[in-house]
Structure 1
Amino acid sequence: MEEYLWNFDDPMGEPFCLKFFFRMDNWDYQEALWLLLGIVPESAYGIDVSPNCPSKLSTLDGKQRTRKADLGGMMFAQLLQSELLRIWESGNHPSHNPPKYYVDWVQSKGYVVPWLDWAEENGLIPSTETPRGDSTGKPINPRTRNNYLRLIMLLAMHGIPGFDPRKPYEAAKAMKEITEINLDEKTLAGYIREAYELQSKERIE
């Protein structure tokens, strides 16, 4: 059974604070565990939920959480962070890793990241969907896959009005409006993002 990494009374708002953290190439594991919980790491260090402590922390949607108003959520966050830390330390991991490393790891342990859909929709992280194979079920050769991505980009750029690969979800919507492609927008946006990243990389090289 999956466990949702958020237990404040109100749902998480737009986690716009994530944009700063996704500018980093790597996160250290201590800050990553707080980020997975939807909490700004700097606000969480030294957190104390004892009755006489006026502790507060910030969540990624920019809200200030106080002991008086959000004690239950703060206690849950502290307990879950300790739980995640214990699971993390049971393995053999590098201390600094790309953001997606932590997302994949925590999902493999049965947890749901509260901001993942938003991060994917805003192009901060590639879709976690397992890559498809070809019609025979076999994995697609990386070279062949890259050729498919180049073809998607070429056809879309020249044949779809309003197609902007820098905005993958909007681009996916534009593509579905004039084609009969049998893919949902989230999956299609993942391919568009991947194609754009490949194009950008090849331009630099």
Structure 2
Amino acid sequence: MTEYKPIFLNSNINLLAQTEQLITATLKHLKAKETSSEYDERIDNIAQYFNGLVDSLKGINSPDTLLHYAVLDNWDSVTALHLLTGLDPEYSPWAPPHAGKGYKDFIMHDDSSASISRAFNGKYNLTLLDGLSLYEPYQVALELEQYISSDASHKMRLSLALLLANTSGVLQERYSMIKRIWDSGDAKDKNRPSHYVKWALSRNYEVPWLEYAQQHAPNLLPDSLQQTPLWEFEPDSPYYPDELDIAMQAWRAVSIHGHDIKNPKEDIKKWIREQRYELTSAALERIATVCNWNKAGGKPASE
């Protein structure tokens, strides 16, 4: 079962697939060269790094940085809004005193290393909760130029830079949106973590690490989510109920928003499609029908 949902992936699926193909091709070209054992070891390390990068952007890696903040009794609003977005507050270019520094100069038509470097400011660049810095992969890609010609690595570097820029853009948009909503209220600046989670869900803001927190840091969640029954299906079991597993995941993810959901059946279908499960149309319809708690269908007549 997926514990972490990378919200930013939905708008980058095709670009991620393209970048992964280019990374694979570049590394294959590098490994085909007859060189020293020291070279082979370095290329193996680079290959391992990029495989980890792809896993991170797919949400396979766990957001373990969250655990560092789970031991705190209270979060200030800047910390909370970053964590709700899926970012490590320590390395954010938007957190004081670094607000405004970083990505605004990231202009993709200029693929020079100087231009890319200007897009970031020291260590203050976006870092995901699994520890991935969105600038570091480009730095590693630049290193490949000492092993192969710049032409051979250019397409991969450009695709990678575009992927990282798009990812940072989605995250920045999400952070800006939730900050704008928070600033419109008059809540105090320090609150318990569960207060922020409950507030975000009440605003239909999707928190990417809810299931991870249920397993590893339930103290971050409001009581209603801590009491949500957890289950574990074993996909390798001959008795694995795949549709039931998907149905329970979908119901929990959508029903969290409660009465704010006007058409649960369609929202459940939408959630399932976003997870990219391989289902037939009939299976999707069955699952959505079982999960739908509004048997009357559609929006309430009063609206």
* Shared fold per TM-score greater than 0.5: yes
* Structure 1 match to 2:102: 48
- Cα offset for 1:128? 5.4
Match of 1:64 among 124, 133, 137: 133
- Cα offset for 1:27? 0.7
Provide the rounded CA distance (Å) in 2 between the counterparts of 1:88 and 1:5: 22
Provide the rounded CA distance (Å) in 2 between the counterparts of 1:14 and 1:42: 18
Match of 2:168 among 58, 74, 81: 74
AA matched with 1:11 = K
Q: Tell me if structure 2 keeps the 8 A contact 1:6–1:114.
A: yes
Number of aligned residue pairs: give it: 136
Larger-Rg structure: 2
CA 1:57–1:105 in 2, change beyond 3 Å: closer, same or farther? same
CA 1:79–1:129 in 2, change beyond 3 Å: closer, same or farther? same
* Structure 2 match to 1:20: 68
CA 1:59–1:33 in 2, change beyond 3 Å: closer, same or farther? same
* Structure 2 match to 1:7: 8
**Structure 1 or 2: more helix by fraction:** 2
Match of 2:202 among 108, 126, 135: 108
Q: Tell me if structure 2 keeps the 8 A contact 1:5–1:37.
A: no
Provide the rounded CA distance (Å) in 1 between the counterparts of 2:174 and 2:6: 8
Superposition pairs of residues 1-205 of structure 1, within 5 angstroms: 6-8=7-9, 9=12, 10-12=57-59, 13-45=61-93, 46=99, 47-49=101-103, 50-51=105-106, 52=115, 53-55=118-120, 56-66=125-135, 68=161, 69-125=163-219, 126=221, 129=224
Provide the rounded CA distance (Å) in 2 between the counterparts of 1:16 and 1:116: 13
* Structure 2 match to 1:163: none
Q: Deviation per CA, 1:102-150, whole angstroms, max 9, x where unpaired?
A: 1111111111110111011114334653799xxxxxxxxxxxxxxxxxx
Provide the rounded CA distance (Å) in 2 between the counterparts of 1:130 and 1:115: 12
Gaps of 5+ in 2: 13-56, 94-98, 107-114, 139-160, 234-247, 253-303
User: Structure 1 runs of 4+ off > 6 angstroms?
Assistant: none
Q: Deviation per CA, 1:173-205, whole angstroms, max 9, x where unpaired?
A: 9xxxxxxxxxx9xx9xxxxxxxxxxxxxxxxxx
Gaps of 5+ in 1: 133-167, 174-183, 188-205
Provide the rounded CA distance (Å) in 1 between the counterparts of 2:130 and 2:85: 12
Aligned-pair RMSD on alpha carbons? 3.2
Provide the rounded CA distance (Å) in 1 between the counterparts of 2:203 and 2:230: 28
CA 1:123–1:22 in 2, change beyond 3 Å: closer, same or farther? closer
Q: Tell me if structure 2 keeps the 8 A contact 1:26–1:97.
A: yes
**Structure 1 or 2: more strand by fraction:** 1
Q: Tell me if structure 1 keeps the 8 A contact 2:6–2:58.
A: no
- Cα offset for 1:65? 1.0
- Cα offset for 1:20? 0.7
- Cα offset for 1:77? 1.3
